[in-house]
Chains A and B, each alone.
Chain A
Amino acid sequence: DIVMTQTPLSSPVTLGQPASISCRSSQSLIHTDGSTYLSWLHQRPGQPPRLLIYKVSNRFSGVPDRFSGSGAGTDFTLKITRVEAEDVGIYYCMQATQLITFGPGTRLHIK
């Protein structure tokens, strides 16, 4: 099974400042079809997760452009250019190259 790790697990941020979360997979996420199925999701307390980014760098419908994803192979990053209050919560990376596994989550909170 592919194991996903995230750093940091908790990230205090200042409103208006950038934030970054890293995700690493235990093996390459390049599928035999050539795509890399790495996604990022955001979950606020009491709500279902919301897809932000799919296939490494593609923003899902309605996701603000302050969110961006990058990376390749086994190392990936989610960046927020300027954190807004609604961005607090838990961020998960997820791979769907080989079944589905999630990272442990990174809690983004305001300093």
Chain B
Amino acid sequence: EVHLLESGGGLVQPGGSLRLSCAASGFNFSNYVMSWVRQAPGKGLEYVSVITGSGAGTNYADSVRGRFRISRDNSKNTVYLQMNSLRVEDTAVYYCADGGLGYWGRGTLVTVSS
């Protein structure tokens, strides 16, 4: 059974940093593109970033490019999202999902506030 578990969310001040992790199990992780999608409170879904199975290819939404960095460690079946220069508008539940968005974690809440 596929399982994705996010961690690392919390309260951070504007301008601060956080690193989210997503631990995967139940599938051949290194073969899969992985994505981060976020959802601000009461709002819709927003694509954040994607990484290829090898980690060689990445892409970012314009709203986070230059501030966020996606990476993965296939030996640990884990994908990461390093978030720097956080803004109030980055407040959201952050979900990790496989590339086809067929499997999702339960999300981790990031709150950016002073």
Contacts and interface: CB of A to CB of B under 8 A. Distances in A.
A49 B35 CA distance: 14
Interface stretch (A10-18, A26-34, A96-104): A96-104
Interface residues of B, number: 18
A39 B104 contact: no
Contacts, number: 50
A48 B107 contact: yes
Interface in B13-61: 35, 37, 44-47, 50, 59, 61
Interface string A22-52: 0000000000000000010101000111110
Given A99-B59, A100-B35, A49 B102 contact: no
Nearest to B60: A99
B59 A102 contact: no
B95 interface: yes
5 contacts: A39-B101, A49-B37, A94-B101, A96-B100, A105-B44
Given A39-B101, A51-B100, A96-B101, 13 more contacts: A43-B45, A47-B106, A48-B107, A49-B37, A49-B45, A51-B101, A92-B45, A94-B45, A99-B59, A100-B47, A100-B50, A102-B46, A105-B45
